[in-house]
Amino acid sequence: MVPHSHTDLGWVKTVDEYYSGNDINGQHASVHNVLDTIIEELDKNPERKFCYAEVGFLQFWYQRQKPEIRNLVKKFIKNGQLEIINGGWVANDEATPNFDDIINNMMKGHEWIEKTFGVKPTIGWDIDTFGHSAANTRIYSELGFEAMFFSRMEGYEKHVRVQEQNKGMNFLWRPDKDHFGNQHQIMTVVFSIDYCHPAGFLVGAGYEADDPFVSDESLSTYNAKDKAVDLINWA
């Protein structure tokens, strides 16, 4: 299980509305609450981990934090509890931008990460990009990424790849050779159920939410054991 971010820098709301949580009719989303609670929960248990991808929001939030919170973030990045993945200013589209737009987006995010935390992302993360390009894949490979993960894929191809005998959801993607004749490649992983949750496990998302885990055995609504078994069986 990989706890991870999915924070759009603009989609159906403005960047400020996403950050502050305003306009709940547009979408239930409050990025500062996401980041606040990530740090709170990582601090409670050193075995907890989280992956964060969208650097634009991370910088926006980080600059507004007190020194003690900034120090916690640096601590969690150093000890591996908090990993910055992808590292672009945004999770860029792959269809309409030119390659230099993608490079500039990654450069802006990676420069800030290295300057602030002294680390470099090693994983590409495009869980909600609508379509994937060989140009983007080659850029990720040349960035030195070890692997890339995404979820959206054309329906029929995904149906074929997900079949047990094909085992095609993990593969080496080899885009076109560069003008020096070098063949680049990157380990690629496609999620079988997009970036979503198993049935019955949508927690904390307003009116759409499923029943939460209830671990108090004195309550008639206690369900933690059954839910744990369901999750293990699904995995």
Query: What is the CATH classification number for the domain harbouring 74?
Result: 3.20.110.10
Q: Assess whether 94 and 204 both reside in one domain.
A: no
Residue 10 lies in a domain: no
User: Who contacts 200 (Cβ-Cβ below 8 Å, separation ≥6)?
Assistant: 210, 211, 227, 230
Q: Assess whether 45 and 118 both reside in one domain.
A: yes
Catalytic residue check, 128 = yes
Eight-state DSSP code of residue 211: P
Q: Which domain holds residue 219?
A: 200-235
Residue 95 lies in a domain: yes
Residue 4 lies in a domain: no
Q: Assess whether 89 and 163 both reside in one domain.
A: yes
Let me know if 71 is exposed, middle or buried by CB neighbors in 10 A (0-12, 13-18, 19+): exposed
Q: Assess whether 100 and 151 both reside in one domain.
A: yes
pLDDT of residue 29: 85
Q: Assess whether 231 and 147 both reside in one domain.
A: no
Token pair, residue 144, equals 């030195």
What's the predicted TM-score (pTM) here? 0.87
State the helix-helix crossing angle for 67-78 and 99-117, rounded to 10 degrees: 110
Q: Assess whether 22 and 32 both reside in one domain.
A: yes
Q: Assess whether 213 and 106 both reside in one domain.
A: no
Eight-state DSSP code of residue 216: -
Residue 216 lies in a domain: yes
CA quadruple 122, 44, 231, 83: dihedral, nearest 10: -10
pLDDT of residue 25: 80
Residue 214 lies in a domain: yes
Q: Assess whether 183 and 222 both reside in one domain.
A: no
Q: Assess whether 193 and 211 both reside in one domain.
A: no
Q: Assess whether 223 and 128 both reside in one domain.
A: no
Q: Assess whether 125 and 234 both reside in one domain.
A: no
pLDDT of residue 64: 96
Residue 100 lies in a domain: yes
pLDDT of residue 206: 59
Q: Which of 23, 43, 128, 230 is catalytic?
A: 128
Q: Assess whether 120 and 225 both reside in one domain.
A: no
List of E strands, the chain? 50-52, 82-84, 123-126, 147-150, 170-173, 186-190, 192-195
pLDDT of residue 10: 82
pLDDT of residue 181: 84
Number of domains in the chain: 2
Which residue type, as a one-letter code, is found at position 208? E
Residue 213 lies in a domain: yes
User: How does pLDDT run along the chain (235 residues), one tens digit per residue?
Assistant: 788 998 888 888 999 999 998 988 878 888 999 999 999 999 999 999 999 999 999 999 999 999 999 999 999 999 999 999 999 999 999 888 889 999 999 999 999 999 999 999 999 999 888 888 888 999 999 999 999 999 888 888 888 888 877 778 999 999 888 788 888 899 999 988 777 788 888 876 556 788 888 999 999 999 999 999 999 998 8
Residue 66 lies in a domain: yes
